[in-house]
Structure 1
Amino acid sequence: MSNSGADILLSEKDANGVLRLTMNDVKRRNALSEAMLTRLGDAFSDAATDKSVRVIVLAGNGPAFCAGHDLKEMTAGRNAPDRGQAYFQSVMAMCSGVMQAIVACPKPVIAEVNGVATAAGCQLVASCDLAVVSNTARFSTPGVHIGLFCSTPMVALSRNVSNKHAMEMLLTGDMISAARAAEMGLVNRVVEPAELQEATTALAHKIAAKSSFTLAVGKRAFYEQREMTLRHAYDYASNVMVENMLAHDAEEGIGAFIEKRDPEWRDE
């Protein structure tokens, strides 16, 4: 199945502010080629500052959500005099940049997975804030099968699941089911394939109805405190809470709760 001439990343925004990004390089199983990484990086950069975007859904057309790095493209890089060292460093930097852009994006990002997500594709799912998947989705970090440990996917994976679960996936390269991924905490919800888009959209709309200012504050604080000691995390979170309390939307939201009415967000 080829999508020759088609856009490799589709973009559509609905009336609720949900931006749907769909990887569409079906022939290459939505591999993270240089072109795909560039498009994803640009899309998340643009969405981060677009006030009309409240939530982002990342999906993939075809039988694969994302098959990871484009190994044919990377192998071609070996033809350089340095055997590809500079090229590999560039590609890894691009990929790591996209993963960090997802985490740093002030808008919540939901992975919608209907198919396989392997290697850096699994990393992509783990980097998103939430994941809704079909019961036919499967996940793996299979680098060990080809002599290439999934070191960069390891970073995102180990921050989503327990050490034992992460190491089992990394050391065996085994494919795991959607149900097992949910048990491990890699994904949030597992639904029937026919219900996937509807379930993801419903979750996105529920989140989009909140104050985008509050969501941005909370998302940033979540990832910041996770790397701190317990004491520093509480000090940091307390300061965030005070700043949040002084914001308009917190005052409005608390007032609306007390007055038993719907809040009117100004996203500030």
Structure 2
Amino acid sequence: MNTKNIVISEQQGAIAKLTLNRPEARNGLSLAMLEKLYELFVELGAAKGVHVITVAANGPAFCAGHDLKELTAARANDDRGRAFFEETMAKCARLMQAIVTCPKPVIASVHGIATAAGCQLVASCDLAIASKNALFATPGVNIGLFCSTPMVALSRNVPRKKAMEMLLTGNAASAEEALQSGLVNSIAAPDELEERVQALATLIAGKAPATLRIGKEAFYRQNEMSLSEAYVYTADVMVQNMMEPDAKEGIQAFIEKRAPNWGSL
């Protein structure tokens, strides 16, 4: 497999754009693509000049999930593919967690199909805008392979019964259904998708990076806590945030009715 440019990374101002680039395979998440995406999220997460990351795809599909041909080929190994399956699932889980723990907000730009691990990728991003023609599914049940790892991200984004419906039936959800269930934030006409994603990314990129980092980390951490634990934790986060120079500047700018001058930009 030619892994050159398997993921295209571009930067425009404070916005980094990652583009899945295996259109001939419907952007299937091969082991090489999982590794490249992880590498880029770690790199961009640490890059001072990057404030927001967007994820798009070339070709007619956003992402069809794991590369089933690659997984099937591994069955010829002496262990019937077990070691390769373990490595693939572990590196997929590592990638999805890297997106969640990345200090930069991540926005998915979804067109065509986002199925199985592709749907998991969308659910793992902080925000998502979908084209009207987008379809979302966890269809593993149809081929005897329940979408257990996609279930983790899916069940943390949509209501329980909707998640179970998608997982048990394998049926595709339209962009409108994805919007109603909270899997995506908004829907755009196909020819307006890129512009809408760019506008959202630009809006968020104009906020203080340190504040975005603090807030994103706190959001995911408190979400796994009990109510009382969450309030104790976030109260401490608010105090620490108040001590940041950007909070001092932002509040002063609000009082003085002027635009803030973020020191961390």
TM-score range for the pair, normalised by the shorter chain length: over 0.9
Residue 206 of structure 1 corresponds to 203
Is residue 2:100 matched to residue 1:103? Answer: yes
Q: What residue number does 1:263 align with?
A: 260
2:8 corresponds to which of 4, 7, 10: 10
Contact 2:28/2:66, CA 8 A, preserved across alignment: yes
Cross-structure match for 1:215: 212
The partner residue of 2:57 within 60, 65, 79 is: 60
175, 183, 187: which one aligns with 2:184: 187
Q: In the aligned structure 2, how far is the partner of 1:176 from the partner of 1:168?
A: 10
What do residues 104-141 of structure 1 show as CA deviations (whole Å, max 9, x unaligned)?
Answer: 00000000001100000000000000001110000000
Given that residues 23 and 30 in structure 1 are in contact (C-alpha distance below 8 angstroms), is that contact kept between their aligned partners in structure 2? yes
Q: CA deviation at 1:267?
A: 2.0
Q: What are structure 1's unaligned runs of at least 5 residues?
A: none
2:36 — aligned with what?
39
What is the aligned residue count? 265
Matches within 5 A, 1:41-190: 41-190=38-187
**CA distance in structure 2 between the aligned counterparts of 1:266 and 1:142, rounded to whole angstroms:** 47
Q: Taking structure 2 as the reference length, what is the TM-score of the superposition?
A: 0.98
Q: Secondary structure at the match of 1:57?
A: strand
- 1:27-70 deviations in whole A, cap 9, x for unaligned? 11110001111110111010010000000000011111000000
Render the CA deviation track for 1:128-156: whole Å, top value 9, x for unaligned: 00001110000000000000000000000
- Tell me how far apart the structure 1 counterparts of residues 179 and 76 of structure 2 sit (CA, whole Å): 41
Structure 1 range deviating more: 187-196 or 3-12: 3-12
Distance 2:136 2:3 in 1: 29
**Structure 2 segments unaligned to the other structure (5+ residues):** none
> RMSD in angstroms over aligned alpha carbons?
1.3
State the SS of the aligned residue for 2:62.
strand
Question: Is the 2:3–2:32 contact (alpha carbons within 8 Å) kept by the matching residues of 1?
Answer: no
Identity %: 58
Please list the CA deviations of residues 173-219 of structure 1 after superposition, one character each: whole Å capped at 9, or x if unmatched. 00111011000000001010010000000000000000000000000
Q: How many Å separate the matches in 1 of 2:54 and 2:162?
A: 26
Task: Tell me the TM-score normalized by structure 1.
Answer: 0.97
- Residues 19, 57 of structure 2: 8 Å contact kept: yes
CA contact (8 A) 1:214 1:267 kept: no
Query: How far has the Cα of 1:5 moved from its partner?
Result: 8.0
Q: What is the deviation of 1:266?
A: 1.3
What letter corresponds to residue 65 of structure 1 in structure 2? F
Determine the C-alpha separation between the residues in 1 that align with 2:103 and 2:244: 17
Checking the alignment, whether the CA contact within 8 Å between 1:109 and 1:129 is kept in structure 2 is yes
